Amino acid sequence: MGNLRVTEIGQPIHVRSLFSKFESVNHPIISGFLASIPDSFSDAVNRILSFSCSSSSKILEDNFVQNNRIKLHPFISKFHSEAGTMTPSVRNTAALLGESTTQIFTATHQPNLFAYGGIFKKIVLLQSLKKAVEEHDKHRKIINLFLIIDHDFMDDMWIRLAQLPSIRHLLGILELRFPISDSRRWQMVCNMPPPSRTILDQWRKQIYSWIRNSSLSQLSLSSDKLTLFNNLDLFWKEVETSYSKAKSYSDFNSFLISQIVNQIWGYDTLFVRLSDISSVFEDGFKYLISNYSKYSEALRKTENLFMRYGIDTGVSSSSYLNAPVWLHCKCGSKASAKLFYDENNQQHKSIGLVGTCMSCKKNLNVYLGHQNDLDLKEILHMLSPRAIPILLLLSRDLGSQCYVSGTGAMGYTMYGIMAYERLSINMPLIVIWPSKDIYYGFGQSEALDLLQITKQSDVFAYLEILKQREIEYKIKIKPVLEERNRHIKTGENFQKLLTNLFTLKEEQRRVRKLIKVAEKVNNAIHLMPCFIDYAVNFGIKNSETQWRQNLLENDNLAMSLLMNKKN
């Protein structure tokens, strides 16, 4: 692995720059976390190698974590059996769950429609870390676990929206949407039926037209378009396979990810649904609920700390008031729960959860037993963790030593690291791969061709020039309008002024039209598209190859990735 690459101005690109607004916070936990973030792949590998096998044994010495991992096994098997992705390598890796020295690396995400590239890059990073560590230490046994967050609401836009660059569509973006009625908005993804055959066929037609209608000169040869159509056919074969096995909307999307990762890429990544594994986190739920005052206080203090520094994390300012778990409803939705205590029994405080279902508005409440002797067995199927507790449970109950996070979860991560300390939970190494993919697929290239610009970086500059011209025309038009108004009041002839005004406004309208076109182009080329764009332009296998090679060759987790169709 080579040295860190640098930018054109000679300065290293740092992952920590994502957290720059937190650097001013004077707090040892925050400072320690920022210092621990790996900037390079090799740095991440070295940090993981510093976790000795003996430390893994120490984590498992009381059999608590090991027993939880053993509980996890049937749910992993269930997912892969239903997805049709129980490959020999998946089966062999799952068998390592019962071994005391096995290390677990984790990542999480919602089962989004035709997931965007960043979700797949998390998995590529996990697999690359596992392989590199095992090459350095032949005795290491590592499992990569991908937790599917399938209890989120259908109301989440990205769960039911996939985007592709298309200058022929409004705002420069082709949108594939999974339509839902208002009555389904607050259903959990795991309880939503798969898309209908009509919707699935409509998506395919949209994608087919997206390719067919492209007019870029480089695609004029039938062989070029034929390659794109062939790539689409190969991808759609996987879509149909996943669709044929899926019993829910969540399954449709997550089976497709597993199909690509486990079958086509040959990875041994283990997938499991969050909605399946409440029993695995039973003790963790008890711990968080029993220690709710510590948990809540940690979140409240974190919120106040960031408020003092004027930092908006995107996390709800009232998160500390909520219980660490959601309370599920029979209607297929859930409630944001709060803890309540039995005021009539101060000696043996009874504790429970109460909330209002987001969908049917039913009042939900359950008793959990005494605060220091909780009994959750009968209601585990009604519980699932909120965002911040997911990180805590992966570490505490499964012994995760490395967690690959996305840039969208940074706010939750910052709250999480404060809660780790307060609840005496070992924090894993958190690795982020925020690099931007730079490539010229046919959608991006067609957009640039419209402006007769060859480099993506030139579009923003061109757009700024146009906006400056519009400002200049506003400045020129204003005194002409004032002069015209004076002529109207005095009754003077203003025909010459009108001619000048007409000319200026025509030029202004022309510039505004150019701005709209340039904004569409800018949207198309800077879009973070769904995986379909990669599958069509590069092929499913080649996308993985280029991500992995760039990761290893750049050895800089923040550096942009240059992807090439000729690779």
| pLDDT tens by residue, 486-537 | 877 777 777 778 888 888 889 989 999 999 999 999 999 999 999 999 999 9
Q: Residue 114 pLDDT > 90, yes or no?
A: yes
Does residue 5 register a pLDDT over 60? Answer: no
Can you tell me the distance from the alpha carbon of 320 to that of 299, in angstroms, rounded to the nearest whole number? Answer: 5
pLDDT value, residue 567: 52
What is the pLDDT averaged over residues 542-567? 90
Which residues does residue 272 pair with via DSSP β-bridges, in sequence order?
Answer: 147
Q: Which residue has the higher pLDDT, 24 or 9?
A: 24
pLDDT surpasses 80 at 57: no
- N-term to C-term CA, the chain: 21
> How do 400-405 and 437-438 pair as beta strands?
unpaired
Fold observed for domain 442-529: Helix Hairpins (1.10.287)
Mean pLDDT score of the chain: 89
Kindly state the average pLDDT of the residues 72-88: 98
Q: What percent of the chain has pLDDT over 70?
A: 93
By the 8 A CB rule, do 173 and 527 touch?
A: yes
Q: Position of tokens 């994390």?
A: 313
Cβ 16 vs Cβ 409: under 8 Å:
no
- Whole-number pLDDT of residue 224: 82
State the average pLDDT over residues 266-273.
98
Give the architecture (CATH level 2) of 1-152+188-194+246-313+387-439+538-567.
Answer: 3-Layer(aba) Sandwich (3.40)
Q: What is the rounded distance in angstroms from the CA atom of residue 556 to the CA atom of residue 561?
A: 10
pLDDT band at residue 20 under the 50/70/90 scheme? confident
- CB-based burial of residue 294 (10 Å sphere; 0-12 exposed, 13-18 middle, 19+ buried)? middle
CB 2 within 8 A of CB 549: no
Instruction: Show me where the domains of the chain are located.
Output: 1-152+188-194+246-313+387-439+538-567, 325-385, 442-529
Length reported for the chain: 567
Instruction: Kindly report, residue by residue over 168-203, the tens digit of the pLDDT.
Output: 998 999 999 999 999 999 999 999 999 999 999 999
Q: Output the CATH code of domain 325-385.
A: 2.20.25
pLDDT: which is higher, 413 or 250: 250
Helix H or strand E segment including 146: strand 142-148
Q: What is the pLDDT of residue 219?
A: 52
